[in-house]
Amino acid sequence: MKDNKARSSAFSILIIVGGLIGIIAVFLAWLSMEWGGITIFSMSGWEVMREGFDQPNLSNLSDNYVQWMPLIVLLFSVIALFIGLAALVKPKKEMGIGAVMCGIIMIIAAIVFYTYKSFGVAVSDFAGMGIYLAMAAGVVLLIFGALRLSVSNDQ
């Protein structure tokens, strides 16, 4: 019984870590244009949400739905963080469902942003570290949320 409680606490802490990684990912570069190892233009997920794609450097790309993908990642990262904290305070097996759903939504949002293409310019050509970290955070939430579901005999 103590072993299950320790494992459920460990999984809850790792869900919290996944949420924190997702929050950090939004503030890292989602778009990064480099030439010869020197960054010419960089735009964080926060800047993408705030300013959109209407930038002269981005050839005036303007599709509104893609602009909000970093916000979706941020919101579901915060939700996952609270789910992890709630699972630590009052361990319930079902808390893992919320983490799994947050992870899936974060992965989908990051992939939608990554695969966006308009006017012959693909985001995947200029993908920054923030997109990859958002996908990794989603995978962490997915894995440890599922593991949190597998732990039985919670008190």
Following DSSP, what letter does each residue of the chain receive, concatenated?
Answer: -HHHHHHHHHHHHHHHHHHHHHHHHHTSEEEEEEETTEEEEEEEHHHHHHHTT--GGGTT---HHHHTHHHHHHHHHHHHHHHHHHHHHS--TTHHHHHHHHHHHHHHHHHHHHT-EETTEEGGGGB-HHHHHHHHHHHHHHHHHHHHHH-----
Q: Which CATH class is domain 2-150?
A: mainly alpha
Confidence class for position 154, pLDDT limits 50, 70, 90? very low
Q: What are the extents of the domains in the chain?
A: 2-150
pLDDT of residue 65: 74
**What value does the mean pLDDT of the chain take?**
81
Confidence class for position 152, pLDDT limits 50, 70, 90? low
Better pLDDT: 23 or 53: 23
